[in-house]
Structure formats: C-alpha cells, structure tokens
C-alpha cells in the first residue's frame, strides 16, 4: 500500500481518539487492529435484549471527565451507579459480617468511620514512602498507628486488600505504595445501559480501520516507521512517517510484538516497572431477585470473602435481576483456566451462605478471561513495587521523533481507565502534529 502519514496500532479508545484527531487535521491515517472488532477493552455483548459490558463499565467520576463529555456529545445514555471505585459507602451497601449476619446501620457506620480513619493515616504514610515499598507495608503502618484490637484492625485490613484487588487486580504486597495515588473519584460514577462500545463506534466514524491485522513488528528510524502485520503469506507491510502504538503493556512486553531498535530509556525502564494485572468479571443473571432491596451492592466480610466478597446489583441497568462480582488479583490467578461452571458454583456457594435456598441457579452467565486474551494479556496495568506514578507518562516519551506509545498505561493522572486511554490518544495526536488541539475536538461532530 502507499505510504500514509500515520499508522495507528490498535482500535481501542486511545487509538481511535488519536486517529480521529489526526484525520480531522487532514492527515492520512490507517488503523491496524488485531481483533475483528473495535473498542479493545471496551467490549459490550448483547444477548436476549441484555447488554453486558465485559470490559470497562464505569466512568469513575463524571466531573471534568472527557469521556463523560464525549458521551454527552454523542448522545449516549448513562445511569448513575456510584459504587465502582470500591468506596465503603458512597451509596447504600448491605454488609454481612464474618458470621454471615447483616451488619446494623450503626455497625456499618462504625466500620466506615474506621476505614476513613485508616485512609487518612494511609495518605500520610504513602506520601512519606519513596518508591520501592509496597501498598501492603503502608497499610500495616497505618493500621498499627490506630492501636486497635486485632479483630477491628483485621476488618479494615481485609477491606483495603479487597480495594487493592478490585481497583488494580493485584495482591496488596505486589502493588507499589503509590499504586493507588490516582484513586480519586470526582462526581457521580455512571455506567452505560446501552453499552460502553457506543463510545468506540462514534469515535471510529469515518476512519480507515483494518480489522484482523495482528501487528508483529514495528521498525523505527529517523526516516519513519515500518509496521508488519500477520505471518507468512498473510504478511503485510505498512510504512508511514509516524506510528502511534496503543497496544496494552502485556502485548508490548510479549515476544510476539517486536520493536526494532528496542525501546530506549526512559521508555524501556518505565515499561519494565508496569505489569498487566489479573482481573475478571463474573455476571450472574437470575429469574428473580433474592438479595437485599434498595442497596447498590452486597459485601461479605471475613475468611469466606477472601475471593467473593462484593456483588453489585446491575438490575436497574440490565433490566433483569443481575449481580456482578469480580475475580480480582489472587482469585483471578487461582481460578484461571477453571471451567465456567466451577467458577459459578464457587460464587453461588458464598451467595447461598448469605441467602440460603433463595439463591436459584442463574439463568444467564458471563465470565471473562482477559488474562488469556492475546490482545490484552490482562485487564489493565499496575505499578509493581519500585515503579513511580510518573512511569506512566514516561512510557509516552516520543521515540526517535517517530514512534509514540499511547493507551491507558501511559497516563499518570488516572491510569487504568477509559479516561486515561482517551487523554493519551489526544496527547499522542498533539505530539504527532507538533501542536496542541483542543480535547473537545475528540467529540466534535461537525
Ligand atoms: C474487565 C475490565 C474492567 C474495566 N473496568 C473499567 C471501568 O469500569 N472504567 C474504566 O474507565 N476503565 C475500565 N477498564 C479499563 C479500560 O477498559 C481500559 O483502560 C481502556 O479501555 C484501554 O483502552 P486502550 O485504548 O488503552 O487499550 P485497548 O482498549 O486494549 O486497545 C488496544 C487495541 O490494540 C489491539 N491490539 C492488541 N494487540 C495488537 C496487535 N498485535 N496488533 C494490532 N492490534 C492489537 C487490541 O485488540 C485493542 O483493540 C476495565 C478493563 C477491563 C478489562
């Protein structure tokens, strides 16, 4: 094919954003996408009238969010669901104690106050920690400062473990102490009842996207880039002045994705310090609702909740009784490769402990396997012990003036989100153009 101005690798939110802005600025752009669909880790499936988001679901705080602005401009329907960031009580939650008995309102209030006390101390501890110490260490230090008896401290320790797992899909001792620095939610959280994928569909309008193009090699030099897609007789080469590569960190690190010459510093070091996590979704649809009314989520404390501790009530969003839970961190690693039925039975065992025979077998199930997907190799990246928050931005340092990495892992302020993907795509487009363009251009339709 002819040489184009820019090759974008990956048609997720970062790639589509960059391609859209570059195309709007008059550049010839081709987007190479390995899968037969666009959206990447934004993936909505539709079955029997029910829309299920297997990847991202939430905008974690609509205030100042470009994703929220884009959704509004594209006319996408959203629904408030402010429990996505593992907050202790942003909206009503039914908490069950270790014995399986629901906590009273007073008990919940005291538990939430305990979490807030530790969180305040934790912020001070983390601020004093240099990179190289784990979040687990910081939590222990903040708990010790409270001087509580063992059981009281254990409930909060367990809560903070679960928050680490649900937020970053990693065991608490494997995350750098600064790995949750970005964990702020501004404004309500919302989800997309008609599917998050509509965002990708709107961003993709009018772009030259080539699905089924698995990129295996990117060669860069001062003269430009050469990108190889496919193998053997199905191999195709594309050349351009610049490339924007938006594949996830797990793909960037894999032997199947070659970059020649190898990435220089500071990009290589930053990449080495970020890892893909283990985080899977389990959706259970039921013919009737058996759990507590007027709560957004159900949580169980204690040893029974080591894996399955939180269920989110998606009934209002899905239109049928549905619970969402996560296999996050150790649970996702241990259940990797399990048959779907075995995972569902394991989750149902815990629900039956709380609700007894009222828990019927589910009528609709989705279990994700992002860890085994060669195009993602996990759900999103986390900061290993020793990484610094700035490693995210360092990963986007332009290489040789021709190669630009973008994607959720390249945005320091709010990594691991759709917001980060969109903002990183915007930054990559500005870097390629050599000038700034307003972020509002991402959702401009004219
Ligand atoms: C289970 C789950 C839950 C999540 N929940 C939320 C949430 O609630 N809110 C939130 O904001 N974020 C959430 N996220 C994170 C969010 O989905 C991602 O941060 C964001 O979608 C990443 O976009 P991206 O463009 O950086 O990467 P991707 O979406 O991964 O796009 C990269 C693209 O590159 C393609 N690709 C990969 N390898 C190749 C190759 N060799 N050749 C060509 N193309 C290739 C992929 O197919 C993909 O389309 C979640 C993610 C998962 C998986």
Which value, in Å, is the radius of gyration of the alpha carbons in the chain? 22
**Digit-coded pLDDT (tens) for 359-385:** 999 999 999 999 999 999 999 999 999
Please give the distance, rounded to the nearest whole angstrom, from the Cα atom of residue 352 to the centre of ligand 1: 34
Average pLDDT over residues 415-420: 97
Give the mean model confidence (pLDDT) for residues 309-327: 97
pLDDT of residue 141: 98
The DSSP bridge pattern shows strands 322-328 and 236-245 to be unpaired
Residue 130 clears pLDDT 90, i.e. is over it? no
Q: Which tens digits make up the pLDDT trace of 319-344? A: 999 999 999 999 999 999 999 999 99
d(CA 333, CA 330): 5
What is the dihedral sign for C-alpha 27, 32, 35, 41? negative
Point out the ligand 1 atom lying closest to the alpha carbon of residue 418: 11
Query: Mean of the pLDDT values across residues 10-37?
Result: 98
pLDDT for residue 429:
98
- What b-and-e string marks burial along 8-46, b requiring 16 or more CB atoms within 10 Å of the CB? bbbbbbbbbbbbbbbbebebebbbbbbbeebbbbbbbee
pLDDT tens digit sequence for 290-305: 999 999 999 999 999 9
Instruction: Choose one of 217, 231, 375, 405 to mutate for the ligand 1 pocket test, by most ligand atoms within 8 angstroms of C-beta.
Output: 375
Mean model confidence pLDDT for the chain: 97
- Measured at the CA of 85, the angle between CA 116 and CA 331, to 5 degrees, comes to 100
Segment among 71-80, 109-118, 125-134, 198-207 with least mean pLDDT = 125-134
pLDDT tens column, 174-210: 999 999 998 888 999 999 999 999 999 999 999 999 9
Query: What is the distance, to the nearest Å, from the Cα of residue 161 to the centroid of all Cα atoms in its chain?
Result: 18
Pocket test for ligand 1, best of 13, 40, 412 (most atoms within 8 A of CB): 40
pLDDT category of residue 1 using cuts at 50, 70 and 90: low
| Torsion angle in degrees (nearest 10) through CA of 342, 286, 313, 74 | 100
Q: How far is the CA of 248 from the centre of ligand 1 (A)?
A: 7
Per-residue model confidence (pLDDT) at position 233: 79
pLDDT-derived band at 2, boundaries 50, 70, 90: low
Query: Is pLDDT at 445 greater than 90 in this prediction?
Result: no
Ligand 1: residues whose CB is within 6 Å? Answer: 9-15, 32-35, 40-42, 55-58, 60, 84, 213-215, 246-248, 251, 257, 279, 281, 368, 370, 375-376, 379-380, 407-408, 416-421
> Which residue's CA lies nearest to atom 52 of ligand 1?
55
* pLDDT exceeds 80 at position 411: yes
Nearest CA to ligand 1 atom 35: 10
* pTM above threshold 0.95: yes
Nearest CA to 243 out of 1, 22, 423, 12 is that of: 22
Query: Do 301 and 158 touch, CB atoms closer than 8 A?
Result: yes
Test site for ligand 1: of 380, 392, 429, most ligand atoms within 8 A of the Cβ: 380
* Averaged pLDDT, 277-298: 97
């Amino acid at each position: 094919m002819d040489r184009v101005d820019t090759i974008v690798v990956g048609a997720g939110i970062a790639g589509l954003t960059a391609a859209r802005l570059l195309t709007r600025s008059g550049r010839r752009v081709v987007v190479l996408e390995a899968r037969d669909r666009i959206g990447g880790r934004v993936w909505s499936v539709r079955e029997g009238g029910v829309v299920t988001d297997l990847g991202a679901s939430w905008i974690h705080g609509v205030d100042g969010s470009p994703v929220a602005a884009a959704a509004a401009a594209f006319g996408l329907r959203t629904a408030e669901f402010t429990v996505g960031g593992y907050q202790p009580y942003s909206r009503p939650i039914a908490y069950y104690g270790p014995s399986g008995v629901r906590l009273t309102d007073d008990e919940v209030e005291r538990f939430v106050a305990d979490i807030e006390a530790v969180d305040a101390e934790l912020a001070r501890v983390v601020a004093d920690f240099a990179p190289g110490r784990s979040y687990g260490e910081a939590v222990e230090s903040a708990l010790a400062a409270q001087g509580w008896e063992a059981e009281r401290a254990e409930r909060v320790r367990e809560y903070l473990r679960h928050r680490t797992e649900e937020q970053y899909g990693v065991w608490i001792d494997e995350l750098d102490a600064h790995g949750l620095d970005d964990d702020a939610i501004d404004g309500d959280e919302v989800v997309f009842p008609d599917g998050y994928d509509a965002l990708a569909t709107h961003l993709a309008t009018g772009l030259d996207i080539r699905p089924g193009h698995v990129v295996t090699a990117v060669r860069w030099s001062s003269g430009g880039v050469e990108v190889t897609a496919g193998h053997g007789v199905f191999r195709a080469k594309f050349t351009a002045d610049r490339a924007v590569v938006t594949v996830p960190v797990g793909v960037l690190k894999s032997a199947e994705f070659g970059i020649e010459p190898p990435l220089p510093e500071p990009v290589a070091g930053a990449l080495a310090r970020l890892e893909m996590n283990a985080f899977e979704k389990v959706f259970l649809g039921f013919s009737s609702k058996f759990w507590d009314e007027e709560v957004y989520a159900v949580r169980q404390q204690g040893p029974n909740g080591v894996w399955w501790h939180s269920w989110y009530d998606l009934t209002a969003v899905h239109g049928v009784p549905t619970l969402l839970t996560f296999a996050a961190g150790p649970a996702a690693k241990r259940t990797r490769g399990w048959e779907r039925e075995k995972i569902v039975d394991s989750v149902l065992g815990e629900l039956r402990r709380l609700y007894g025979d009222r828990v019927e077998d589910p009528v609709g199930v989705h279990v994700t396997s992002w860890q085994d997907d060669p195009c993602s190799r996990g759900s999103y990246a986390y900061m290993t012990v020793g990484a610094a928050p700035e490693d995210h931005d360092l990963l986007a340092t332009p290489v040789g003036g021709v190669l630009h990495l973008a994607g959720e892992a390249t945005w320091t302020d709010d990594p691991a989100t759709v917001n980060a993907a969109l903002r990183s795509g915007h930054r990559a487009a500005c870097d390629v153009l050599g000038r700034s363009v307003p972020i509002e251009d991402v959702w401009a339709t004219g």
